[in-house]
Chains A and B, each alone.
Chain A
Amino acid sequence: MLGNAQADLAIKAESLHKDYPGLTAVDHLEFSVPKGVVHGFLGPNGAGKSTTIRMMCGLLRPTSGRILVEGFDPVDSPFEVKSKVGLLPENPPLYKDMTVMEYLRYTAQLHKVINLNAALERVITQTNISQVAPRLIGNLSKGFRQRVGIAQALIHDPSLIILDEPTSGLDPESVVEVRALIKDLKKTKTVLFSSHLLHEVEEICDTITIISQGKLVAHGMLSDVRLKFEGLGHIEVEVKSLSKDQKKKISDLPYVAKVESVETPNQTKIQIFLNTKEEMRAEIVREMIKMNLDLLMIDRKGVELEGIFLALTKHKDLP
């Protein structure tokens, strides 16, 4: 369970609600993030993650409810919140016609950083961008641009870092470096980390929040969420061949959340993600025989975050 004491919380959402004309983006969301953890903020596209993050940073006002950041409400105390939060939006806010150094100096001045040169040196070392410091941002690779984006989020030494999809579109080497940086930040800061890469969340995060259609669907320590959904794994099946029609029929089964298949010359490997904890192997075998599929192997795999995510965001009747 998460800590209850208000002082130990970096973020606390209390019945947070945001309506746009004709759309409820965030629906009475309740969750909290303890200090000093890496928190995974998950949800499918349009779930309300970015809206929640914008309300957290004081860029958007909630319709009702509130969100406290380090005990401050961004609506009442925007400056206190902004000085404690470092934000890297999904599209890093970079000026392509500025050099990295000029850009970081500008962001430091916007945040009224007193010891400017020391702050610049700190973030340049932390994000490993010293070799590109004199270069124009527009001429940098995507990996370096992302690192510059992280550097600007760290420039005022905030206690809470919010990273929206920070590894999206990066090459494998940069992904490893960014992940290592996030793990390093955990030593001194709270990190809220939004990602679609579930294995990444499993690797980095201590606690998670999953939202769907603006509503909370799961929240807590990663191990607790895993325990809660014990049994909700996926089934691996090997068949001789699988047509598109047959794959669609499997996807349409009521207890199936998602089907993925990989074809090899001699066989097709199918991953069937379930939205139930029930033992469904016998049922699946029966359905496959009905479809005239040549079954070679069937196995049940343990619970993974991806399975939980798919089940929770596609079906609401789960615990």
Chain B
Amino acid sequence: MNPIRVVSIKEISQIWRSPLAWTLLGLFSLLSGWTFFNLLVGYTDNIQSIPADMQSQISFLEEVVLRLYGNINFFLLFFIPPLTMRLMAEEKKQGTLDLLLAAPIKDHHIIVGKFLATWSFTIVLLIPTLLFPFVLFWAGVPDQKVLLGCYLGLIANTACYVAVGLFASSLTENQVIAALLGFFFIMSTWLLSWIAQSTDNFMIGEILRWLSVTGHFETLVRGVLSTADLTYYLSFVGLSLYASVQVLGSRNW
């Protein structure tokens, strides 16, 4: 069996037997559902409180759909670091990293295997939210392109967050520090976009916007998939995983 698959299967099985994973899954579903409900209620209240001729100015897409998936993306900032914190830190702390390093497999097999396992769990985390598109279709908002873009954006973002969280975990053997570092790194990708909005320099603003995950997510949720975005996401994940492999290899220094 391919070593990446061996490491991945073991990680997936370890994630699913951990109470943390089930807790996060439950909380994430609850929080997303509560947000969806509130956005729907808020939209209905707004519509009812204004004259009928002005109702068309309030966009359901902007007020409910995009805000919902923007919020879900924000929740991931808090839900992914607890998942990634143990990936390498726990192996180092418990001495089980020696088991992997003494086996005839390469460092990138370990890193990629762990990444794929955790990323697949974060995709599962999004499955309960698939209920929302069904409700939206039923409510008469069948903008399939936008909804597909939202999910594609979330899946791409989780790949970036998991990769950077894994990198944070490879830096330390303390899981709490790994979670805080992971949170900080993910937060940094958001901060870039906020700095881009506040700068007067067009060039710097554009560069920061391109470097930020948020900018690419906003393009995707509008149903636009470009090679630039695809390149960005692949580069982000690739560089983060490469950095983790380098940290793991630094044991030889």
Contact = CB atoms under 8 A, between A and B. Distances in A.
Genuine A/B complex: yes
Interface of A: 57-61, 78-79, 82-83, 85, 87, 89, 91-98, 102, 106-107, 109-112, 152
Interface residues of B, number: 24
Contact of A110 (B13, B17, B97, B100): B100
Interface in B7-52: 7, 10, 13-14, 17-18
A186 to B, nearest CB: 22
Contact of B102 (A59, A92, A106): A59
B98 A111 contact: no
B180 to A, nearest CB: 24
Nearest to B99: A93
Contact of A93 (B1, B3, B95, B251): B95
A95 B102 contact: no
Contacts of B105: 110
Interface string B212-245: 0000000000000000000000000000000000
Nearest to B17: A97
The 8 closest A-B pairs by CB, nearest first: A93-B99, A110-B103, A61-B252, A82-B104, A79-B104, A93-B96, A91-B95, A109-B6
Contacts, number: 62
The secondary structure that dominates the B interface is helix
A59 B251 contact: yes
Given A97-B14, A109-B6, A57 B102 contact: yes
Given A60-B251, A82-B103, A106 B6 contact: yes
B56 interface: no
Nearest to A92: B95
A110 to B, nearest CB: 4
B99 A152 contact: yes
A95 B96 CA distance: 7
